[in-house]
């Protein structure tokens, strides 16, 4: 057993050879070079191999040949989406932003209806989301409805990129950050913003992820010239924006 295999959390849990990094590498090679060009083969392969890669990077760190399996898996997912489109499951689990933006007021009302076992079981069949997973509800009012676009009067100015979780699921996190920074003498800008693109990227929806970043940067372009720092309450959102839009995130404050 290789060190990379020992480090793969999915293999350690399932003990299935299809979850091992070597299996992923072999099937990814076949997908990328076109050896598997049938939709059924793609679907079967993804179900048994590719979807068992969570992108943690453990195998890449341990691989003596420096093979980047998570990056190859992302490329395979992207090729699948370009060819066959995203699955229903992928569309649902990447839709936090539109659900929060337009469905927050209804989320609390619908939550009791989603609790019965038969409803959860039907939802699992339709969406692919386990019925045992706790239901995530959106806040009735998003962060952007409860904080001012510009708060505070301090000399130091920051742009707050909340991400979807603090923006639509737990706005109290964002409100606490704005309150803390303004009390410490900062001016906090909370502009209109979109998803960081990471959920879309993990499902191979690369073009959609890039479009989210493009929209954010298009809306913030002038503001980026005025602020001293960009702050986040979700580290993955900050890192995703840095990785997906590297050309646009070059001002020194972003990299501090």
Domain ranges of the chain: 3-85, 143-255
pLDDT value, residue 151: 96
Q: Which two tokens stand for residue 107?
A: 């989320």
d(CA 105, CA 240) in angstroms, rounded, equals: 28
What is the reported pLDDT for 256? 34
Q: Return phi, psi of residue 179, to 5°.
A: -65, -45
Instruction: Identify any residues that bridge with 156 across adjacent strands, giving them in sequence order.
Output: 186
| Continuous H helices in 52-192 | 58-62, 69-84, 88-93, 96-110, 117-127, 143-146, 163-164, 171-183
Would you state the pLDDT for residue 109?
Answer: 66
Strand-by-strand arrangement of the 150-151 sheet: 150-151, 186-189, 156-161, 229-232
Q: Could you read off the pLDDT tens digit of each residue along the chain, which spans 256 residues?
A: 455 555 788 888 888 877 788 887 887 777 667 776 666 556 766 667 777 888 888 888 888 888 888 888 888 888 888 888 888 888 988 999 998 888 777 766 666 666 666 666 776 777 777 777 777 788 989 999 999 999 999 999 999 999 999 999 999 999 999 999 999 999 999 999 999 999 998 899 999 998 998 899 888 988 989 999 999 999 888 887 666 554 344 443 333 3
Per the listing, tokens 């395979």 go with: 76
DSSP class of residue 219? H
What's residue 248's pLDDT?
41
How high is the pLDDT of residue 114? Answer: 62
Rounded distance between C-alpha atoms, residue 92 and residue 87, angstroms: 9
b/e code 178-194 from CB counts within 10 Å (16+ = b): beebbeeebbbbbeebb
By three-state DSSP, how is residue 229 classified?
A: strand
Comparing C-alpha atoms, which of 238, 143, 239, 241 is closest to residue 192? Answer: 143
The 8-class DSSP code of residue 52 comes to G
The sign one gets for the Cα dihedral 89, 92, 96, 97 is positive
Q: How many CB atoms are closer than 10 A to CB 29?
A: 12
Which pLDDT does position 108 carry in this prediction? 65
Q: pLDDT value at position 232?
A: 94
49, burial (CB in 10 Å: exposed 0-12, middle 13-18, buried 19+):
buried
pLDDT of residue 118: 63
The three-point CA angle 213-218-222 to 5° equals 130
pLDDT of residue 229: 92
Three-state secondary-structure class, residue 230: strand
Radius of gyration of the chain (CA): 21
């Amino acid at each position: 057993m290789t060190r990379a295999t020992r480090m793969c959390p999915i293999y350690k849990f399932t003990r299935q050879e299809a979850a091992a990094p070597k299996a992923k590498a072999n099937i990814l090679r076949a997908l990328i070079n076109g050896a598997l060009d049938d939709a059924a083969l793609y679907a079967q392969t993804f179900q048994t191999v590719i979807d068992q890669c969570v992108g943690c990077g453990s195998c890449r760190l341990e691989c003596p040949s420096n093979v980047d399996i998570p990056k190859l898996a992302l490329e395979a997912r992207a090729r699948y989406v370009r060819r066959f489109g995203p699955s229903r499951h992928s569309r649902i689990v990447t839709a936090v932003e539109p659900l929060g933006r337009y469905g927050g007021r209804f989320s609390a009302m619908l939550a009791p209806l989603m609790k019965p076992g038969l409803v959860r079981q039907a939802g699992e069949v339709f969406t692919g989301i386990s019925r045992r997973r706790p239901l995530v509800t959106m806040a009735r009012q998003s962060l952007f409805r409860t904080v001012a676009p510009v708060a505070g009067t301090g000399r130091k100015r920051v742009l707050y990129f909340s991400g979807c979780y603090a923006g639509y699921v737990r706005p109290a996190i964002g409100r606490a950050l704005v309150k803390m920074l303004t009390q410490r003498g900062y001016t906090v800008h909370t502009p209109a913003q979109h998803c960081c693109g990471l959920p879309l990227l993990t499902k191979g929806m690369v073009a959609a992820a890039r479009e989210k970043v493009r929209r954010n940067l298009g809306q913030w372009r002038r503001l980026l010239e005025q602020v001293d720092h960009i702050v986040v309450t979700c580290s993955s959102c900050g890192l995703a924006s840095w990785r997906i839009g590297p050309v646009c995130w070059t001002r020194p404050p972003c990299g501090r």
